[in-house]
Structures are given as C-alpha cells and as structure tokens.
Amino acid sequence: MSAPAAKPKKHALMRKDQFVSYVIMTIPGFILYCVFLILPILMGLYYSLTNWTGIGTNFDFIGFDNYVKVFTGDRKFGQALTFNARYTVMMVVGTVVIGFILATLLNRKLKGRTFFRTLYFLPAVLSMVTVGLVFRQIYFYVLPVIGQTLGIEALATNVLSRKETAIYGVVFVNLWQGLAMPTLLFLAGLQTTPQELYEAAAIDGANAWQRFRAITVPYILPTLSVVLVLTVKGGLGVYDYISTMTGGSYNTTSIAFLIYQNAFERNRFSYSIAQAVVVGVIIAAISFVQIRFTNSKKVD
C-alpha cells in the first residue's frame, strides 16, 4: 500500500502567496520608476551623443563629440567647475563645522530647547527662490544703508556686485537656509551616542577633546557621511540662489546655471545633457569615495 502524498506545508504556500502579492504591489511603482527615471536617463544619454537642439526631430548622431568638447574646448565649463569646487568646499566646511556646533548646543538641556529647535528649522521649509529674492533685496538696499550709516566699509557696497565677494554672499544665504537639515541629522547622531561611554571616559581621566575624538567622531561618522553627500550634491548642483541673486554675473556662473543657459537660451540641448552627465559622474565618484572612507572609519 503506497504512502499518501505529502501535503504542501502551509508556511511554504504562505510564502508563495506573499511573494506573488509583493510582486503585484511592486509593479505600479516599478513602472513609474522606469518611466520617470530610468527612461529619461537612457534618453538623455542617447541625445548627448547627437547634435539635437531641443527643437524639432532632425538631428544627427555625432558620437562623443559633445563630451570631447566639454573637456577640451569649453572654457566656460572649466570656469563654472572651478566656481562650483570653491563653492562646495566652503559649503562643506561651513555646514560641518557650524552644523555640528549648533547640534551640540541644541543637544544640551536648556530651557526652551524644543522652541529653539523648531525656530531654527523654519528656514528649511521656505522656497530657495523666495529666500534668494529676499536676500537679494537685503544685499542691494538694506546692508549698504546700514554700512554707510555705521561707517562699515565692508557693508557700504553690495557684496553681490563685486567679483571678490559675490560668492561669499551666496554661500551665506545657502548656509542660512541649508543648515537646518544637517544640524538635525547631527543632533540625531549625538542623541544615539551611548552616554555611558562618556561617563567611563571621564572616570578614566579623558579630557573633552579626547572624548570627542575617541567617542563622538566614530559614532557620528554615518551621519557625517550623509551630510557630506547631501552638501556636495547641493554645492555642485546649486542653481536657485545663482539664478535669483546674481544671474551668473561676477564669476558666479555655476555648472547647473550654465547647463540651463545652454539648453534653454542657446538651444544646445544635446551639449547641455553631456555636461549634465559629466557632472553626475563627478558627483557619483566623489560620493562613492567619501562613503567608502567614512564606512571604513565608523564604529560597527
């Protein structure tokens, strides 16, 4: 007499049903992801290999000529890249230093701490265009009057109207609005650091700098990695502040603003796409190196 056939296990059937459900629920999101992200990227890569002007359907396939011109024959791209490099370095230094100091202050037990945290985060919810336009008026009409009245020569003239100071005026506005999120991330990192480690280190005689270097830094490295990636991306892709405050004048033409000019003012769409691809590769490479470095130093 043959043994009865073994019934499939209930948990195996459940896993199969769950897998089918997961696939069905994922399909709409996957389609949207492909249509609005993957497909535009692939189309952009294709058009960067042509001489398409953005108007009409007549264009020729020219291979890597646009990329060759980006690296060899475009002086403006080199100048914009230099500006973005300076801008990004200042943003990284300012964001990390000021953001960490503010997070340390907000992490202390102070009266009204919740109110100050909320108040400090308010600039982050404002539009970049709005902030840029407001500060443009402040730089043009408010600060010069204050500088002339108080006899402060540095404020007597509009900082955005001089090649030597225009970049600092834009960086200040970006830091004023952009510090909220990095500060919040640093604050979250500080709050997850085990306090007993500080107490043990203090008992062992470690001073404040030693505790910061041996405990705080390793534990906030994952947060620092996120902050650096966001700041580098924002620095290399800055557009809103440049467009509303300087219009690219006084050596403040950023790569994103130059790409916009090539695409919508000069009808060089394929060339602007090639520039965008180059910038994307630069951002990805910098982010990869930075993440690998911080991951090798963080506490497991």
Residue 29 lies in a domain: no
Predicted confidence band at 123 (pLDDT cuts at 50, 70, 90)? confident
* pLDDT (tens digit per residue) in 162-208: 888 999 999 999 999 999 899 989 988 888 888 888 888 888 888 88
Single out the residue of 279, 265, 244 nearest to residue 126, CA to CA.
244
**10 has pLDDT over 60:** no
**8 has pLDDT over 70:** no
* pLDDT (tens digit per residue) in 68-93: 999 887 889 999 999 999 999 999 99
What pLDDT is recorded for position 40? 92
- Stretch 112-128: mean pLDDT: 79
Looking at the structure of the chain, the number of domains it has is 1
Residue 13 lies in a domain: no
Residue 220 lies in a domain: yes
* pLDDT (tens digit per residue) in 29-76: 999 999 999 999 999 999 999 999 888 888 899 999 999 999 887 889
What pLDDT is recorded for position 162? 87
H or E element, residue 221: helix 217-236
Residue 15 lies in a domain: no
Compute φ and ψ for 246, nearest 5 degrees.
Answer: -125, -20
Residue 47 lies in a domain: no
Per cent of the chain over pLDDT 90 is: 43
**13 has pLDDT over 70:** no
Predicted TM-score (pTM) of this structure: 0.83
CATH code of the domain containing 81: 1.10.3720.10
Single out the residue of 186, 180, 188, 286 nearest to residue 235, CA to CA.
286
Exposure class string for 177-216: b at 16+ Cβ within 10 A, else e: bbbbbbbbbbbebbeeeeeeebeebeeeebeeeebeeebb
Domain interval for residue 271? 65-297
Residue 49 lies in a domain: no
**134 has pLDDT over 80:** yes
The separation between the first and the last C-alpha atoms of the chain, rounded to the nearest angstrom, is 59
Residue 11 lies in a domain: no
Residue 52 lies in a domain: no
Which residue, chain included where needed, has tokens 């796409």? 273
Per cent of the chain over pLDDT 70 is: 93
- Stretch 249-275: mean pLDDT: 91
Helices (H) and strands (E) in the chain, counts: 16, 0
Cα 133 from chain centroid (whole Å): 21
